[in-house]
Structure 1
Amino acid sequence: MRKIIIFFVLLASFSNVYSQKSIAELYTAYTVIRTTNGNKLAAIDLAINILKRSSELTNSQIANLNFNLGRLYEETMEEEKAVPYYESSLMLAPDYYVTHRALGSIYVKRSDPIVKKMNSAGNAKQMDLYGKLFADYKKLIVKALPHLEKAQACDPDEQSLKQIIDLYKNIKNLAAIGTLDARLKKHAVSCVDLLDD
């Protein structure tokens, strides 16, 4: 019981420290921790507490915090926690292609276990199960592709382009490959490669 009380007293004192410092001081401390310290958990904790005071931040700072929280969660192998922060960042900085690449990659990675199950079901001639798994796979890939396309449009490379084409083939949407160049040109009109604070 005593340990629980001590924990809550410490938690309250940390929250009090965050609320007493200016947002500029906290944001600077967060930037230093994130870029030099290597203590990802401390950076995550500080960023979350700064976001609680988002009314004192610019939209650019909020977008940056959300993006970096997503990245920090990915780096600590907590990709599921990264997704909402990446999505929040895109709401404020929709042309930042690095966030699109990260989200697209997470969605594709989520499909990997489904592909393994699909292959097993196909080999076992369990076509009903295969059909259900394919539908689940297709949903994830359809969710990933616009993000991957935006990243490809803004930072083109052959490997990413091949991945996009292969994913369309995998979900049996060959028509989308024929219109891919037009979509990439449209996405390339507005690309952001660096989030300002």
Structure 2
Amino acid sequence: MLKKTLLILLVIFTAKISQAQTADEVYDKYTDFNLAMLQNEHDKALDLGQQILPDTAKLNSKVRLSFYNGLAKLYEDDSQSVKAIEYYNRVASAQPDYYVAHRALGYLYIKDISGKPANEIVIDAAYINKAKKALPHLEKAQACDPDDDTLNLIKTLYRNIKDDKDLGSLPERLNQLKKNCIDILDTQ
């Protein structure tokens, strides 16, 4: 009985080892993932991303962060906002000064409320919640890469949620936020 148990455990262990990707294999897939993204092979890049996800711990932390950012962008382009938000949040949490992820998050949070004519916007609890989630991200993006459209959106959101206090202190916050801005993720 003990021999059978050991044999079964050995077979299971061997099967698991043969299925697991080595760190080099995961990194090779990551380079293929980047190449597919650069060549606008969206479906191939998404497929490679799905293959890499279970083994992201085998990538160093900076490469993993870059991978999450690329995957988030793919999901965003594929209109999978929930997944894009998940991975952009990982990037923004790990690298809070990387404003590109913040810009994406800000616009994704308000995706279904921005661009509507003013007479079609309903200021309800859901709108206020989305605006409050979006605003810190939009502010970081605006501080690091000023843009009239983003600034107007920020001001409109504050006016719509009737937050005059934060609207009034916006210039001070933007000035503070612009001190540490990163526009490219380091993978080394």
Q: Is the 8 A contact 2:131 2:157 kept in 1?
A: yes
Report what 1:160 is aligned to. 150
Give the gaps of 5 or more residues in structure 1: 1-14, 123-129
Q: Is the 8 A contact 1:105 1:148 kept in 2?
A: yes
1:45 Cα deviation after fit: 2.0
Distance 1:189 1:48 in 2: 36
Report what 2:34 is aligned to. 31
1:57 Cα deviation after fit: 1.1
Distance 2:76 2:52 in 1: 19
Report what 2:132 is aligned to. 142
1:119 Cα deviation after fit: 5.1
1:185 aligns with 2:187: no
Task: After superposition, give the CA deviation of every residue in 1:35-59 in whole Å (9 maximum; x if it has no partner).
Answer: 11x2212211212322322222122
In the alignment, residue 25 of structure 2 is paired with which amino acid?
A: S
1:22 Cα deviation after fit: 2.1
Report what 1:48 is aligned to. 50
Aligned partner of 1:92 among 82, 94, 100: 94
Distance 1:77 1:143 in 2: 19
Specify whether residues 166 and 112 from structure 1 end up closer, same or farther in structure 2 by C-alpha distance, changes over 3 A only: closer
* TM-score of the pair, normalised by structure 2: 0.80
Task: After superposition, give the CA deviation of every residue in 1:147-190 in whole Å (9 maximum; x if it has no partner).
Answer: 00000000012221111111101111111111111111111111
Distance 1:143 1:109 in 2: 12
% same residue: 37
More helix as a share of residues = 1
1:195 aligns with 2:185: yes
In the alignment, residue 192 of structure 1 is paired with which amino acid?
A: I
Matches within 5 A, 1:103-122: 103-112=105-114
Task: After superposition, give the CA deviation of every residue in 1:62-108 in whole Å (9 maximum; x if it has no partner).
Answer: 11111111110111122222111111111222111011000100111
Question: RMSD value over aligned CA atoms?
Answer: 2.4
Matched residues, number: 169
Q: Secondary structure at the match of 1:109?
A: coil
Q: Secondary structure at the match of 1:52?
A: helix
In the alignment, residue 106 of structure 2 is paired with which amino acid?
A: G
In the alignment, residue 91 of structure 1 is paired with which amino acid?
A: S
* TM-score of the pair, normalised by structure 1: 0.77
In the alignment, residue 145 of structure 2 is paired with which amino acid?
A: D
Report what 1:9 is aligned to. none
